[in-house]
């Protein structure tokens, strides 16, 4: 299935039904009075967050979504039926914006969350609504109100705890395969990953986190170069970034430090908030570096990169160092989650006194 993280749709809520002009006609009831009912309301358009979806591909091929209009009012005090609502299922993490103004309208963050994106029009009044002491035979009615009509932009930002970033062919796909249940395409050429891949990393019983593997970044990504710029938005909701660096590139003339600095610079250009996110340095492909040279290569890279945060030396292929990495990541996420919880004030009546 093709991954689609942006789509435009036209939604139309149903118009309200018109009111009815009718009078009671029965034998021996010469002046039965008005009995025209109201029209029914138009159908609403809802959006629901579905955790079973991870792409907006369905909306790429189905752009128009129209709810039913309400039925017209009828005689004998009968109101028109409401129009049938429609519910559009979208992935968790979808942002809904006005396509014309760019204003963000809604955001689906919780599985099962449902919002109204287009409200159906109210039904019109029948002539029984206009009956009064001085107007006993009204012939007025009102038409139904029109429903909302909008052109919306859908944008998906995947919900992941950890995001992998790095140059093409840095070994991100191999890493996510080694530590999670994801099975992305892996090959020995750049830009193997063409869309985000999500994987669940299980550290222990009831201990897990979600990691996202994105297409590799290159210099100029924030301006649209390469593929990674299309998916930089998916890093904005992560709690932690893992900067994966290839310590043994095929081309020995490649300056890995310059490449790493270029990626950090692209993050800063794209979004300063993204640049300030916690970031771990993951030095990959150590299996391709002679054992006696590893310490020197790592020390030289960290010194030239001027990095002072956590550094992890791994080989995603042989899974060396991956367990230590995942445990450190889980502890970081757990600490962030605990810090985000609101403080709970205990009722002193239920706090036992210390003897």
- DSSP state at residue 34: B
- Least reliable range by pLDDT among 18-22, 187-191, 261-265, 324-328: 187-191
Find out whether 183 and 329 touch, Cβ atoms under 8 Å.
Answer: no
Write down the mean pLDDT value for the chain: 81
Higher confidence at residue 319 or residue 344?
319
Q: What is the pLDDT of residue 48?
A: 94
- CATH dotted code for 6-156: 2.70.210.12
Give 346's pLDDT tier (boundaries 50, 70, 90).
very low
Helix axes 256-270, 294-305, angle to 10 degrees: 40
Find out whether 50 and 92 touch, Cβ atoms under 8 Å.
Answer: yes
- Least reliable range by pLDDT among 24-28, 32-36, 64-68, 327-331: 24-28
For the entire predicted model, the pTM comes to: 0.66
Cα–Cα distances in angstroms (integers) from residue 289 to residues 169, 198, 270, in the given order: 16, 29, 33
Give 123's pLDDT tier (boundaries 50, 70, 90).
very high
The burial of 243, by beta-carbon neighbours within 10 Å (0-12 exposed, 13-18 middle, 19 or more buried), is given as buried
Q: Say how many C-beta atoms besides its own lie within 10 A of residue 251's C-beta.
A: 5
% pLDDT > 90, the chain: 27
* Torsion-angle region of 191 (φ positive above 0: left; ψ -120 to 50: alpha; else: beta): left
Higher confidence at residue 173 or residue 354?
173
Question: Residue 33: pLDDT above 50?
Answer: yes
**For the chain, which residues make up each domain, given as ranges?**
6-156, 162-340
Dump strand ranges (E) for the chain: 6-12, 45-50, 64-66, 86-91, 94-98, 104-107, 114-118, 149-156, 162-165, 197-204, 207-213, 240-246, 279-284, 311-313
Cα separation, 280 vs 17, in Å, equals: 60
Q: What is the pLDDT of residue 188?
A: 47
Q: Tell me which residue of 319, 321, 254 sits closest to 281, measured CA to CA.
A: 321
Q: Look at strands 86-91 and 45-50 and give their pairing.
A: parallel
Please give the CATH superfamily to which domain 162-340 belongs: P-loop containing nucleotide triphosphate hydrolases (3.40.50.300)
- Least reliable range by pLDDT among 97-106, 215-224, 245-254: 215-224
3-state secondary structure of 48: strand
> For 139-193, what is each residue's pLDDT tens digit?
999 999 999 999 999 988 777 788 888 887 778 888 888 888 756 554 444 444 4
């Amino acid at each position: 299935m093709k991954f689609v993280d942006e789509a435009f749709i036209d939604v139309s809520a149903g118009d309200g039904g018109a009111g009815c002009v009718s009078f009671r006609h029965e034998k021996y009831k010469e002046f039965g009075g008005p009995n025209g009912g109201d029209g029914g309301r138009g159908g609403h358009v809802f959006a629901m967050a579905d955790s079973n979806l991870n792409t907006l591909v369905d909306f790429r091929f189905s752009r128009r979504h129209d709810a039913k209009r309400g039925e017209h009012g009828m005689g004998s005090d009968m109101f028109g039926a409401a129009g049938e609502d429609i519910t559009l299922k979208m992935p968790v993490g979808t942002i809904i914006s006005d396509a014309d103004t760019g204003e963000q309208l809604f955001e689906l963050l919780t599985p099962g969350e449902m919002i109204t994106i287009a409200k159906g029009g109210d039904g019109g009044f029948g002539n029984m609504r206009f009956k009064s002491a001085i107007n006993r035979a009204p012939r007025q009615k009102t038409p139904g109100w029109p429903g909302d009509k909008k052109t919306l932009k859908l944008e998906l930002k995947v919900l992941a705890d950890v995001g992998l970033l790095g140059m093409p062919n840095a070994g991100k796909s191999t890493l996510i395969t080694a530590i999670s249940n994801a099975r992305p395409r892996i090959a020995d050429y750049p830009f193997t990953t063409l869309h985000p891949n999500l994987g669940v990393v299980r550290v222990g019983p009831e201990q897990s986190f979600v990691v996202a593997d994105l297409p590799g970044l290159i210099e100029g990504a924030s301006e649209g170069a390469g593929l990674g710029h299309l998916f930089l938005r998916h890093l904005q909701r992560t709690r932690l970034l893992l900067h994966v660096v290839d310590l043994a590139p095929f081309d020995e003339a490649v300056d890995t430090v310059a490449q790493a600095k270029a990626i950090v610079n692209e993050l800063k250009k794209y979004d300063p908030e993204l640049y300030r996110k916690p970031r771990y340095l993951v030095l990959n492909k150590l299996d391709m570096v002679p054992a006696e040279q590893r310490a020197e290569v790592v020390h030289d890279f960290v010194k030239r990169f001027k990095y002072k945060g956590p550094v992890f030396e791994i080989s995603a292929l042989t899974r060396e160092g991956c367990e230590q990495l995942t445990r450190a990541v889980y502890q970081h996420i757990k600490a962030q989650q605990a810090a985000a919880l609101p403080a709970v004030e205990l009722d002193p009546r239920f706090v036992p006194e210390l003897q």
